[in-house]
Amino acid sequence: MDKEMCNISKRLVDEEEVVEVEEEEEEDDQSERELSNRIFSVDSAEEEEMDEKEKMLNIANLDEPIGGGGGGGWANDDCDEDLDNVNFFHRVNSDQIIYQTKKRKLKLIGKYVMGDLLGEGSYGKVKEMLDTVTLCRRAVKILKQRRLRRIPNGEQNVQSEIKLLKKLKHKNVISLVDVLYNEEKQKMYLIMEFCVGSLQGMLESTPKKKFPLFQAHNYFTQLIDGLEYLHSMRVIHKDLKPGNLLLTLEGDLKISDLGVAETIDLFAEDDTCHNGQGSPAFQPPEIANGLESFPGFKVDIWSAGVTLYNLTTGLYPFEGDNIYRLYENIGKGEFTIPEDIENPLRDLLLGMLRKEPEERLNLQEIRQHPWFGRKPPRNSYEVAVPPMAGDQLHNMTVLPYLRDHFYDDDYEDVEDGDYSTTAGNAAATRTADTVAGAEHDEYDEDDDGVRYYTERDLNEERRKIDEEHKNGGSAQMNNYHHQHQHCTKRRWKKPISCITVKRLPGCKQS
């Protein structure tokens, strides 16, 4: 009898434990559903009512079977079936997708205001800057110490370039204005003169990849002026090429990138060097053949000769499938000059590209050469600097950041005649005028003064702009100038880059 009572009590205890485990599992399922509902919830009245009904069902019928018997299912099973049929994402039509003009964030580094990206190299990025004190345009080279450590001799080359640029000052050598450090972000900012482009970019923008002779003569004479100054300061560049020759807005040539340059000791007997680190296609035969020592000044003479060959012919005197074939051809010193290159330019190229360094022309002999002293006739068009991001005039990229920071987002001063815009920007500008008047009730401005435009409106305006261009948009643009010549406030044309979804009254769950 006692044994039977013990067995009955054990079974009761086990049944209570099973019930407790089931209750804990039900509570865990309920918490998981509440968490998923919070994550995938949609802010609409219908979903809130559905969530409230679901909670009431779960609370009232947590442990009660449907129908009061053991054969029926649980209330949560029906709720799970209902949740399977619920779509937590609602469809958004194209007319409810709106485009918001992204506000440019003003970034200040010391006394300099940061602009747009100008280019990027192996060492870092180059951006435009504005000096807030002198109001001069500058270019900044942003270097990260973490990135420099990955480059062989990266940190040493940067420190050497900074040391050289601080003591060099010439019209045809890039000037270092300031050096800033950010210890927290481990960044270094080299503020330099502003240049609009390089000779390499200009060559690539032309079909024949070369300059007219009068234009190449102008750049070459400036190159020799800058190179003569570097050699007078006992500095050997070692990496002269069109990519390292920059141009200012005034057309002045600037020798840049002195990272691998070497300074000859003041008490050294001659200009002997022991290592070469320049671009392979511009290296002389003595470096290609692996000589341990060679005259440094003649290395720059050879590189200047290859540069002149490239500017006037659009080709390279030595080429190869790989660097080994290239160095093999350079070491032989055999090359041909196109037939359209006549004397005295042909004679100058042959003198600068002689295989033996001792026979190569020096700077004084180059200055006395007939082609150097006589400018070729201007018989063709001059190659222009390619536009920067579609801007033919190379306008300052810092100004939009200043406008967004100090002035209203919707109304800005526009200079007379500044209507050269793309179809997309023109459509956005036209939309700001037409939609604000015709559909102001539907698309109202927010409290922060930002106006929204739907995709349908923008597409309609782009279509109108395309039709205007096809049907003589110039006449309509002149009429537009005449109608708005007394307006001093215009809407500023902003790039459309940020996509958001605006909650409209007609937006419902699908």
How far is it, in rounded angstroms, from Cα 187 to Cα 247?
A: 27
Task: From 1, 9, 61, select the one nearest 30 (Cα to Cα).
Answer: 61
Residue-wise burial string across 467-494, b where 16 or more C-beta atoms lie within 10 A, e elsewhere: ebeeeeeeeeeeeeeeeeeeeeebbbbb
Name the burial class of residue 450, with classes exposed (0-12), middle (13-18) and buried (19+) by CB atoms within 10 angstroms of its CB: middle
How far is it, in rounded angstroms, from Cα 10 to Cα 244?
A: 90
Instruction: Report the sign of the C-alpha dihedral through residues 68, 72, 73, 75, in that order.
Output: negative
Q: Is the peptide bond before 370 cis (omega within 30 degrees of 0)?
A: no
CB < 8 Å & 24+ apart, contacts of 387-392:
388/118, 388/196, 388/197, 389/116, 390/422, 392/420
How far is it, in rounded angstroms, from Cα 359 to Cα 78?
A: 97
How far is it, in rounded angstroms, from Cα 216 to Cα 309?
A: 10
Which sequence positions are flagged as catalytic?
239
Instruction: Enter the DSSP assignment of 258.
Output: -
Helix (H, G, I), strand (E, B) or coil at 275: coil
Determine whether the annotation assigns residue 141 to a binding site. Answer: yes
How far is it, in rounded angstroms, from Cα 488 to Cα 469?
A: 26
How far is it, in rounded angstroms, from Cα 335 to Cα 349?
A: 11
- Which amino acid would we find at residue 335? F
Strands 137-144 and 187-193: antiparallel
Annotated binding site for ATP: 141
